Copies of this chain bind each other. A is one copy, B any other.
């Protein structure tokens, strides 16, 4: 089950990816799973959170620094997947690179 990611003390980086899907799968689920697996193997990877509600999806990945998230994007032909995404999978998406400055949380005993 999905839970809030366990991340170290800030500062670190977040990639906030919000998307509106088109209908149907067309290989999306498989490629999304591959992206996540590749992220986990990358140096500087800190965590991953994702929630999909109907056709709207928010995915947040966490990274040690800008270099780590840039390497991930290059490494795995993410660019190619994005090209395919624009053509087939997405009606719209937005990518935001953000530096996490402060963090707090709660966990039930």
What is the interface of chain A, defined by CB distance below 8 A to chain B?
1-5, 7, 10, 14, 16, 18-20, 22, 49-58, 60, 85-86, 90-108
Contacts and interface: CB of A to CB of B under 8 A. Distances in A.
Copies of this chain assembled into the complex: 2
Contacts of A104: 94-95
A63 B105 CA distance: 20
Nearest to A92: B107
Contact of A4 (B52, B92, B108): B92
10 contacts: A2-B54, A2-B56, A7-B94, A10-B96, A18-B60, A51-B57, A90-B106, A93-B105, A95-B103, A96-B102
A53 B52 contact: yes
A10 B95 CA distance: 12
Contacts of A52: 51, 53
Contact of A53 (B19, B51, B96): B51
Contacts of A16: 14, 16, 60, 100
Given A49-B18, A60-B18, A106-B86, A55 B95 contact: no
